[in-house]
Amino acid sequence: MKSRLIALVTLALWMSACGSPSANEPPVPAARTAQAAPNAAQTAAVMRAAGYTQRGGKWMGNCGEPGAPEADGWFDVEIDSFGDLNEDGRPEAMIAEGGSSYCFGMVGYGFTLMSQTTSGWTAMLQGEQGMPALYDRPGQAWPDIEVGGPGSDCFAFLRWNGTEYAYAGRSLEGRICELDPAFAQTSGSATSPAESRGGLEFPPLPKGYYAYGTDCRQAIASGDADNPPMGLLFFDQDRMGEFDGAATIEGFDDLGGGRYRVHARYFGNGDDETGTSDPFILRVTGPTSFVAEYEEAGDVAHVHCPTSMVPRAIRESWYE
Distance CA 181, CA 192 (A): 18
Instruction: Give me the half-sphere count of Cα atoms (radius 13 Å) on the Cβ side of residue 261.
Output: 8
| 254 sits in which H/E element | strand 245-256
pTM of the predicted protein model: 0.53
Instruction: Compute CA distances 290 → 144, 185, 300, whole Å.
Output: 25, 29, 8
Query: Does the pLDDT value for residue 134 go beyond 90?
Result: yes
**Residue 27: pLDDT over 70:** no
Mean pLDDT of the chain: 80
Share of the chain above pLDDT 90, in %: 39
C-alpha span between 147 and 134 (Å, rounded) = 9
- If you ran DSSP here, which 8-state letter would residue 194 be given? P
Number of other CB atoms surrounding residue 89 within 10 Å = 8
Report DSSP letters for 262-318, one per residue. EEEEE--SSS--S-EE--EEEEEEETTEEEEEETTTEEEEEEEE-GGGS-HHHHHHH
132 sits in which H/E element: strand 131-136
Least confident of 11-20, 69-78, 146-155, 209-218: 11-20
Q: Give the span between the Cα atoms of 123 and 46, in whole angstroms.
A: 9
Q: Which residues pair with 195 in a beta bridge?
A: 200
Over residues 183-195, the mean pLDDT reads 43
